[in-house]
């Protein structure tokens, strides 16, 4: 992962929330919230919360007496998440690095993280921090995307852009969001951090959109792929988006489109 793969700023948070969240994140957020609530946690920490899709799904399911600390490395993403959340005295918003959590030992029953672990530059440290802040018997619940070939629209866009930029294809999607999919590696890294009873479930969903334009804009303009496109062709973001749209339409049709998405859901116990 490149250092630039961690910086969500400018218009990216708004476009991410408007386009990416309904396209691929909402089904998994609902599932993660269900799993988290079933544990009946009293104190929850969410890391890499992004624009708050899990927060919005999980908060209504928690006990009225629960505490919920929501964090992200990127303040613009966290600000957007807070602006979308209704007033809730149980929730505290905190800018925080998952590799150096500013919380005391054994303070939480549950640490949850949806599609954030792929962005951690040092997962051993991040997993160690999650374990440190969990109480004995606490749970670490998180998700990561499966390989890009199992996530069809992301693969379509990546392949389309490779045709536009054959000498230097933009590889952000394959490199980072879909770059941490080896379940044996995930298990080994969690066990090395001191977790036990690691369970990993691979879950497929459908990504649906009103037209091919939606996933093209979502990936090209609502993720850090945008930065790679603009670095290669300043002023050509719309043209690249149009090309990705045409590639998706050619494969999936010009009306409503749907394609497979797939992720790994991980539960580890202290």
Instruction: Please count the structural domains in the chain.
Output: 1
> Dihedral angle at the C-alpha atoms of 147, 148, 152, 157, nearest 10 degrees?
170
Q: What is the CATH number of the domain that holds 181?
A: 3.40.50.150
The span from the CA of 176 to the CA of 118, in Å, is 6
Residue that is written with structure tokens 């093209």 in the block: 216
Cross-strand partners of 204:
262
Residue 77 confidence (pLDDT):
87
Give Cα 154 distance to the centre of its chain: 14
> To which residue do tokens 């992200």 refer?
72
Nearest to 111 by CA among 101, 119, 121: 101
Q: What is the span of the domain harbouring residue 153?
A: 3-269
Q: What is the pLDDT of residue 20?
A: 86
Residue of 203, 176, 130, 157 lying closest to 4 (CA atoms): 176
- DSSP string covering 203-253: EEEEEEESSTHHHHHHHHHSSTHHHHHHHHSTT-HHHHHHHHHHHHHHHH-
Q: What is the pLDDT of residue 12?
A: 62
- The pLDDT assigned to 18 comes to 83
Output phi, psi for 251, to 5 deg.
-90, -35
Q: What per-residue confidence (pLDDT) applies to 7?
A: 47
SS3 144: strand
* Number of other CB atoms surrounding residue 185 within 10 Å: 11
Nearest by Cα to 258 from 153, 148, 103: 153
Q: Residues 266, 190: contact at Cβ < 8 Å? A: yes
Q: Which residues contact 234 (CB under 8 A, 6 or more apart)?
A: none
Measure CA of the first residue to CA of the last residue in the chain; give whole Å.
Answer: 28
| pLDDT tens by residue, the chain, 270 residues | 444 444 444 456 777 788 888 999 999 999 999 999 999 999 999 999 999 999 999 999 999 999 999 999 989 889 999 999 989 999 999 999 999 999 999 999 999 999 999 999 999 999 999 999 999 999 999 999 999 999 999 999 999 999 999 999 999 999 999 999 999 999 999 999 999 899 999 999 999 999 999 999 999 998 889 999 999 999 999 999 999 999 999 999 989 999 999 999 999 999
Contacts (Cβ under 8 Å, ≥6 apart) of 207: 23, 24, 151, 152, 153, 215, 258, 259, 260, 261
Using DSSP's 3-state secondary structure scheme, residue 129 falls into helix
- State the pLDDT at residue 11: 53
């Amino acid at each position: 992962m490149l250092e630039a793969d961690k910086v969500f700023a400018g218009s990216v948070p708004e476009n991410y929330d408007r386009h990416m969240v309904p396209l691929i994140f909402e089904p998994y957020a609902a599932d993660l919230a269900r799993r988290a609530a079933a544990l009946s946690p009293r104190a929850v920490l969410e890391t890499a919360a992004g624009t708050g899709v899990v927060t919005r799904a999980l908060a209504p399911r928690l006990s009225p007496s629960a505490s919920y600390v929501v964090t992200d490395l990127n303040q613009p993403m966290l600000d957007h998440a807070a602006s979308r959340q209704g007033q809730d005295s149980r929730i505290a918003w905190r800018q925080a690095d998952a590799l150096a959590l500013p919380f005391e030992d054994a303070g939480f029953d549950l640490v949850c993280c949806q599609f954030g672990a792929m962005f951690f530059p040092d997962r051993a440290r991040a997993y160690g921090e999650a374990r440190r802040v969990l109480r004995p018997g606490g749970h670490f619940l998180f998700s990561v995307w499966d390989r890009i070939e199992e996530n069809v629209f992301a693969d379509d866009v990546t392949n389309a852009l490779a045709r536009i930029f054959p000498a230097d294809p933009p590889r952000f999607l394959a490199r980072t969001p879909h770059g941490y999919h080896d379940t044996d590696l995930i298990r080994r890294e969690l066990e090395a951090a001191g977790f036990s009873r690691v369970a990993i479930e691979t879950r497929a969903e459908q990504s649906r959109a009103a037209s091919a334009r939606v996933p093209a804009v979502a990936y090209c303009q609502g993720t850090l792929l945008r930065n790679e496109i603009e670095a290669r062709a300043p002023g050509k973001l719309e043209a690249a988006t149009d090309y990705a749209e045409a590639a998706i339409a050619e494969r999936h049709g010009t009306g409503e489109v749907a394609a497979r998405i797939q992720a790994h859901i991980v539960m580890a116990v202290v």
